[in-house]
Amino acid sequence: MDIANYFQRNLVIFQIEKVQKLKQKYLYLNDYGIVEFPELILACSSLKTLHLHRNQIAELPSSLGNKLKSLKYLSLQFNDLHHFPQCLEHLSSLVSLNISHNPIGFLPECISNLENLNYLWCNCCGLTTIPKQIGNLKKLATFGARNNKIVTIPDTITNCEELCWLSLEGNQLNELPSFCNLKNLHHLNLNDNYFFQIPSSLCRIKTLNYLHLQNNRITSLNKKYIDKMAKVKINLLNNPIENAYEFIKHKNVMLSNKSLKQEGNNNQEEYSTDSSDLDTEWEHSSTDTLYINYDSSSSDYNSEQDNNELDVITAPKLTKFILQ
């Protein structure tokens, strides 16, 4: 065992024993090269927040769900889980779960047992479907399933009436169920899919502020839809829109210069929009979950804190011991 791994292992043990002795509620073991889930964690019954992302964990102990009953915030992203851990179904108090960047393949039906979930991220997990049981998560406010292979979305997702942030970017979708019941939806990311038009049901969501449809296959825009969504910022960059010129004066619509030039307009620069026009809130509205801070105090974007975390993540192993 090299010196870095030796210190890594002992620091992990130290951190866990400290939490256990002082009955602390938070344990952060990100990027420690952990291969096997430390059994000592199961004795930390006071834990409410457990961060284990950027390790190499392939299995979770079956008793985890029964031992850590108070757990509310769990981050497992960037590990080596090849299936959704069955033990998680017993964490009925769980509010936030991030299992992104694990090759789990699918979400099981037992996801419905996590009835208190507010935040669920499963980006880059090789998903091809979303189970209909997703509709049982009545408190779900944020759901991210980016960069998977999802072809359809179950109708039951419309039962998640508290949903306000939904990201389905980088899938294989060309239609949606009617989203009319999603009366709290604020942000919808459908970038990099196969949509040929803007789904009509989105026009009836009065709370919608951001709609991302960049890199789809949209060839024409319906003026009636665009007018109904006058208060929605719509990202339509990199779509082969044939009637783009008709909408260059719509300040809420972001169009590609390429589409406008195809119209043969010599003055398109006066009205055209491009990615350089992004304001701060728009830019952050499609941020990947790795850069979203969601501990017990906040679920909002926090660039300063997350940049500091990334500095630690990319530093050499021994840097951790200097920073302790």
pLDDT in tens, 35-86: 999 999 999 999 999 999 999 999 999 999 999 999 999 999 999 999 999 9
The DSSP result for 109-135, as a single string, is GGGGG-TT-SEEE-TTS--S---GGGG
Exposed e or buried b for every residue in 49-88, given b needs 16+ CB within 10 A? bbbbbbbebeebbeebbebbeebbbbbbbbbebeebbebb
Give percent above pLDDT 90 in the chain.
Answer: 74
What is the Cα–Cα distance from 26 to 207, expressed in whole angstroms? 35
What is the Cα–Cα distance from 56 to 4, expressed in whole angstroms? 16
What is the Cα–Cα distance from 189 to 173, expressed in whole angstroms? 12
Domains of the chain listed by start with CATH number:
1-159 (3.80.10.10), 170-285 (3.80.10.10)
pLDDT in tens, 228-280: 999 999 999 999 999 999 998 899 999 987 666 655 544 444 334 444 444 54
pLDDT in tens, 81-111: 999 999 999 999 999 999 999 999 999 999 9
